Structure 1
Amino acid sequence: MIIGLWHTSFTVENLDKSIPFYRDLLGLTLVHEQAQNNEYTRKLVGYPDANLKVAMFSIDGLDVGPSGHVLELVEYVSPKGLEVPEGTVHTRSAHLAFRVTDIFQTVHRLTEHGVAFKSEIVAIQEGRNKGGYTVYFKDPDGITLELVQPPSKERV
């Protein structure tokens, strides 16, 4: 029986480039970094020569449960993989959405730091989030992320 979420994970090309983006620009808290060059990890990921660098992030004020983090970034030191196509249209693609209080201010600040957005901010006009705002943007590896400002009366 599933009882909760542990974390979301993305594979990145260069962890040293990704950490400042998620920590300094997005404001996530870096809670732990570790090297994973061991038999347990090789068995888990299914690569006999796996050597990983990992960074774990939390969001201040969010109950992250016993794992202590909500986002994990993984760099494969070895083996080196192939890049998958960018974009959310491809099978097996994923994205992560962050809730914000002021999407306009957040987009302005990120734009000033060179973050690439896929569109202007979009007003949500249908469905359960009608009255809110959303926008997709990209991290340094081209991973799609989303900002969402829920409607003023959030549904519980």
Structure 2
Amino acid sequence: MIVGLSHVALTVSDLEKSIPFYKKTLGFTVLSDAERKGEWVEKITGIPGFHTRTVYLASTLYRHLEMFGFFYPPVIPSERGTELRVGISHCVLRREGEEKKGSMKVDTLQDPDGMTYKIIDSKGKKNKNSRESTGEFLFPALIVEEIEKSLVFYRDVLGLEVEKTSEDYPSSTDPALNGISLKGKWALLKAQTGICLQLIQPLHQRALPANSWQMQRTGFTHLAFGVKDLDNIYSKMGNKNIHFKAAPQSVRVGPHQGGKAAYLNLPDGLTLEFIESPLISEELKTLASQ
């Protein structure tokens, strides 16, 4: 059902400031830059009058950031605070570098709107689909209230495989978590194309519930999984009381043009996107040939 991570979506306050940061600092390339409006995208998102400039930024051929600059609804600032809240905390990237024995160098960077990226130095095999980016996009990290409840959805409903679990992440103050010293349970999940998501349950304090979903709020808005046979998934998950914002809709512009997408509401108040497209099919063929 789930092929793997396709992209993470984020809303920014000023595209003209954000795009240079992602290109120069993180080494991403612009894959697509197009206006989005009309009934098709209103149905996908569930937002009447939806109108954005949407930029796809690529670190590899098949892993992207989907960046929204909103015309309507007007963009609203994110809430700033030190409390941990259910939602995407940060994204993890990897760059080629010297990896010392017994340690791993991790840098933490924030974009102009305060979204956080953890960059791991790794002296490993370079992804053949890399676009020479500074940071190869690996996976998003998601704060959850109770990891076992979250696994019921991601593992048992979506079919993701648990690659690794632990209770020692991280051991000291993590800049990606607003400077809070965090002790937590975590799990790495994978799909056909590899690791696609990290779940983190804080143990020192209970994470606040997710904010009500407003896509025009600056910050990470949702993650998207590439899938096979979206229409069949939509039908089967509807029978499991999973609420979609609309039936799968055709994608008119961008790297997934010619495909279909659907947004769904998760039990913890977050939003997830399923997308099926020629690009997703191409990745599957590439994977099968390796």
TM-score (norm. length: structure 1): 0.81
AA partner of residue 172 (structure 2): R
- For residue 157 of structure 2, the aligned residue among 25, 38, 58 is 25
Structure 2, unaligned stretches of length 5 or more? 1-94, 96-133, 284-290
Give how far 1:53 is off: 1.1
Structure exhibiting the larger radius of gyration computed from Cα positions: 2
Question: What displacement does 1:14 show?
Answer: 1.3
Moved over 3 A (4+): 151-156
Q: Give 5+ residue unaligned stretches, structure 1.
A: none
Q: How far apart, in 1, do the equivalents of 2:135 and 2:218 lie? A: 27
- Say what the alpha-carbon RMSD is for the aligned residues: 2.4
SS of corresponding position for 2:189: strand
1:1-156 to 2 correspondences below 5 Å = 2-36=134-168, 40-44=170-174, 45=177, 46-48=179-181, 50-60=182-192, 62=193, 64=194, 69-87=195-213, 88-151=215-278
Relative to its length, the structure with more strand (as a share) is: 2
Q: Is the contact made by 2:226 and 2:280 (CA closer than 8 Å) also made in structure 1?
A: no
Q: d(CA) in 1 for partners of 2:141 and 2:280?
A: 30
Aligned-partner residue type, residue 79 of structure 1? Q
Identity, in percent, stands at 25
SS at match of 2:217: coil
Would the aligned equivalents of 1:51 and 1:79 in 2 still touch at CA under 8 Å? no
Q: Which has the higher contact order (CA 8 A, sep 6+)?
A: 2
Give me the TM-score of the superposition, normalised by structure 2. Answer: 0.46
Provide, for residues 58-91 of structure 1, a one-character-per-residue CA deviation record: whole Å limited to 9, x for no partner: 113x1x3xxxx22101111222233342322322
